[in-house]
Amino acid sequence: MLLRKSLMVVLAMMLVVVTIGVSKSSAATGFYVSGTKLYDSTGKPFVMRGVNHSHTWFKNDLNAAIPAIAKTGANTVRIVLSDGTQYTKDDINSVKNILALVNQYKMIAVLEVHDATGSDDVAKLNNAVNYWISIKDALVGKEDRVIINIANEWYGSWNSEGWANGYKQAIPKLRNAGLNHTLIVDAAGWGQYPQSIVDYGQAVLAADSKKNTVFSIHMYQYAGKDDATVKANMENVINKGLALIIGEFGGFHQGEDVDEYAIMKYGQQKGVGWLAWSWYGNSSDLSYLDLNNGPAGSLTSAGNVVVNDPNGIKATSKKAGIYQ
């Protein structure tokens, strides 16, 4: 009897070891997409709640801005970078520094290249792709805390096919270079033409050997003008079986209203991540988009909504599993 009990204990212990081994071996090395959802490396659904930070134009403010953004409770910060073709390049060492600081404050870094904004030129998209490959030593191994937004608002035209053709070429280049991170692709039409994702998002995803691509709508006066538009634009992408975030939005844009409350409300209802534009530093004609008075100042009225609304950052942000 004693021998049988001992044998049962040994077998139970072996089962625990095997189970642990299976869970470890099947754990993801980084973020991944499954259906319409983004998951972190611990297997938990991850819904972005955060802001954009215009780093490339305010390179000296990093150490003030990142801790201040973290204090809002944000789980993600989207960082504006430059590949050097239009703005001052952010080199590999500066990117390493950015990532170390964002990691210290337990946020996920979404990195984007801003130089190709509004362009339909495939060469400019390729410049962004080549930039990511050139700094890959700063990125590889951080797939659980870094997401690559390939090119901010590349493809300014409201045209689906040209947009898709560009990304169907760009994504394989990144994968062939060994960049296995979750990728983000902005919609055509300066990010405001979600029909491009509805039309060709599945084809763009199919070009990704990792099937690890999230699509992004930038919601301003067209894509986010009112409650019904916001709801429809989110649902139309989700209904295609694609993962979605709202990579930028504000409450007002170029003389027209944007329904930021609907963006946050439906973002919460549908599990769609969002990143408000932008922490501070917009030009005088766009200063209404500033969320904060300086890199580490006080929240503006727009910032107060994004941070403190019942559907805002403080109430809805949950840290990635690696930071819990």
pLDDT at 28: 82
CA dist 117 and 103 (Å) reads: 27
**64 contact partners, CB below 8 Å, separation of at least 6:** 294, 295, 296
Point out the residues that are catalytic: 153, 248
Query: Is it the case that residue 299 has pLDDT exceeding 70?
Result: yes
CA dist 69 and 110 (Å) reads: 14
Average pLDDT over residues 77-84: 98
The pLDDT-based confidence of 8 (bands split at 50, 70, 90) is: very low
User: Which residues face 246 on adjacent strands?
Assistant: 217, 274
The pLDDT-based confidence of 27 (bands split at 50, 70, 90) is: low
Average pLDDT over residues 168-191: 98
CA dist 318 and 324 (Å) reads: 9
Cβ 110 vs Cβ 184: under 8 Å: yes
pLDDT at 13: 46
Average pLDDT over residues 123-139: 98
Average pLDDT over residues 71-77: 98
Query: Is it the case that residue 4 has pLDDT exceeding 60?
Result: no
Picking from 132, 75, 66, the residue whose alpha carbon sits closest to that of residue 100 is 66
C-alpha separations of 26 from 22, 29, 75, 142, 218 in Å: 6, 9, 25, 18, 34
Query: Is it the case that residue 218 has pLDDT exceeding 60?
Result: yes
Cβ 318 vs Cβ 312: under 8 Å: no
Sign, CA dihedral 266-219-101-25, equals positive
Query: Is it the case that residue 122 has pLDDT exceeding 70?
Result: yes
Whole-number CA gyration radius for the chain: 21
Would you state the structure tokens that stand for residue 107, as one six-digit string? 């946020």
Query: What 3-state DSSP class applies to 123?
Result: helix
CA dist 274 and 284 (Å) reads: 24
Give 15 or 279, the one with higher predicted confidence. Answer: 279
Query: Is it the case that residue 249 has pLDDT exceeding 90?
Result: yes
The residue with tokens 């000296």 is 60
pLDDT at 124: 98
pTM for this prediction: 0.92
